Amino acid sequence: MPPDPTNGLLWYIAFLYSTTCHESAHALAALKLGDDTAARGGQVSLNPWPHLRRAPVGMVVVPVICWIAGGWIIGWASTPFDPEWARRFPRRMALMALAGPAANLALLVIAAALLRLGLEWHQFTVPYGVAPSRIVDVAAAGLFPFAGHLLSIVFSLNLLLLVFNLLPVPPLDGSSLPLLLLPAAAADQYFSLVRSPVVRTIGLLVIFRSSGLWFGPLLRHAASLLFLGLNPT
């Protein structure tokens, strides 16, 4: 059966704006911490266009192909920064890196709050089983099925982006966490290591091979926290 185009469109919209928020948070943090590279490229913006323009393959081509071929979306984007600024201020670099996952955490909390509100108001119900596109069942008609579907996707996607990007593996944002603690000389050596193309390629292979093992249990655990005190239908 081919992937549902409506579901695919909602996943792509959620991916586009979640990724835009992630990258614009990086850009804003860098600007506040002394590097205006991304700001000069227009990336301190919730307008997706500057981010699409920088990474059209990762934000359009690959997600669309993946959905058509396999019914799932994967992609990437990036925020430019001055490597010399990062070398001089490794802790600022780490804080800039953490700003992206922080944006995904904010979106996750908003989606969770709205889902819980719908559950408390009996517009949504607790399902017997969750899936990335179906965190809740819908009891009401009108716009509620659409809202439940979209909020489920935003919840699932931003949970994935948050945890995925915090993994301490290059080239993900979490690989910058040691820069918060390392002394200057060690931070410079570490920065050079994690920017190595070989290390980054190995990191991506390890992450993509392992992500299928941990995301399902993580999603079920997160949903169980969302449903605390409620009963399944």
Does 120 participate in catalysis according to the annotation?
A: no
Report if residue 218 sits inside a domain: yes
Distance CA 16, CA 75 (A): 10
Summarize pLDDT for 69-128 with one digit per residue, the tens: 877 788 889 999 999 999 999 999 999 999 999 999 999 999 999 999 999 999 999 998
Q: With 70 as the cut, is the pLDDT of residue 232 above it? A: no
Mean pLDDT of the chain: 90
Whether a cis peptide bond, with omega within 30° of 0, leads into 171 is yes
Specify the pLDDT at position 187.
87
Report if residue 232 sits inside a domain: no
If you search the block for the tokens 């603690």, which residue do you land on?
181
Q: With 70 as the cut, is the pLDDT of residue 233 above it? A: no
Amino acid (1-letter code) at residue 102: A
Specify the pLDDT at position 99.
97
Q: With 80 as the cut, is the pLDDT of residue 204 above it? A: no
Percentage of the chain exceeding pLDDT 90: 61
- Residue-by-residue DSSP string for 66-86: HHHHHS-----------HHHH
Report if residue 115 sits inside a domain: yes
Instruction: Tell me the two tokens of residue 171.
Output: 């080239």
Among 4-13, 48-57, 179-188, 198-207, the range of highest mean pLDDT: 48-57
Report if residue 43 sits inside a domain: yes
Question: Based on the structure, what is the number of domains in the chain?
Answer: 1
By three-state DSSP, how is residue 134 classified? strand
Query: How far lies 225's CA from each of 130, 148, 167, in Å?
Result: 13, 17, 22
1 pLDDT band (50/70/90 cuts)?
low
Q: With 70 as the cut, is the pLDDT of residue 151 above it? A: yes
Report if residue 208 sits inside a domain: yes
185 pLDDT band (50/70/90 cuts)?
confident
Summarize pLDDT for 59-68 with one digit per residue, the tens: 999 899 988 8
Q: If you ran DSSP here, which 8-state letter would residue 125 be given?
A: E
pTM score, whole prediction: 0.92
> Span 193-218, mean pLDDT?
79
Structural domain harbouring 212: 5-226
Q: With 80 as the cut, is the pLDDT of residue 2 above it? A: no
Specify the pLDDT at position 201.
78
Q: Is-contact 6 54, C-beta < 8 A? A: no
> Span 202-216, mean pLDDT?
76
Specify the pLDDT at position 59.
94
Report if residue 231 sits inside a domain: no
Query: Helices 197-226 and 90-120, interaxial angle, to 10°?
Result: 30
Q: Is-contact 137 127, C-beta < 8 A? A: yes
119: left (phi over 0), alpha (psi -120 to 50) or beta: alpha
If you search the block for the tokens 């009996």, which residue do you land on?
122
Q: With 60 as the cut, is the pLDDT of residue 176 above it? A: yes
Report if residue 48 sits inside a domain: yes
Q: With 90 as the cut, is the pLDDT of residue 226 above it? A: yes
Specify the pLDDT at position 203.
74
Specify the pLDDT at position 75.
85
Summarize pLDDT for 7-36 with one digit per residue, the tens: 889 999 999 999 999 999 999 999 999 999
**HSE toward the beta carbon, residue 203, CA cutoff 13 A:** 19
Active-site pick, 14, 18, 23, 73: 23
Report if residue 32 sits inside a domain: yes
